[in-house]
A = this chain, B = another copy of it.
Amino acid sequence: MIFKLDPQLAADTFLVGDLPLCQMLLMNDARYPWVILVPRRADITEVYQLPMQEQQLLWQESALVAEKLMILTQADKMNLAALGNVVSQLHLHHVARFKTDFAWPKPVWGQGNTEPYTALEKQQVIDSLRELFRGFFVSEQSLNL
């Protein structure tokens, strides 16, 4: 089986780049700095289904994203979650939360309506993320792990 990003995830996000294991996606909701990691592996719905070595890689990439996103945004708290009740393909949310944000202190899911980025905002956020993770992305040629 070949990895293919779930259509719902593809519709809700923008591709930022590819880490060694995961696709890095930006959630199209301007209310929160929200990055999703999706391991490029087919038919995986739970973390423990990945081989142990890939679980370790997933969490290393997750820690990298969480720490850099906290430093970039100076947020109050990182929210980390793998839920998958609607989209079962394994995906890991990283949401930088502020005590002043829309849903605080509740989790972000199901609170109000998403606020899509404008074209300008979208490009600015993607550019800043690509700058933040420069040197960590793999080139397209080396993606077939």
Contact = CB atoms under 8 A, between A and B. Distances in A.
Contacts of A77: 45-46, 83-85, 88
- Is chain A's binding surface mostly helix, strand, loop or mixed? mixed
The 7 closest A-B pairs by CB, nearest first: A85-B105, A81-B81, A48-B63, A48-B67, A80-B82, A59-B59, A79-B83
14 contacts: A46-B70, A46-B77, A47-B80, A77-B84, A77-B88, A78-B82, A79-B81, A79-B85, A80-B81, A80-B82, A81-B81, A83-B107, A107-B107, A107-B109
Copies in the complex: 2
A134 interface: no
Interface of A: 45-48, 55-56, 59, 62-63, 66-67, 70, 77-86, 88, 97, 104-107, 109-110
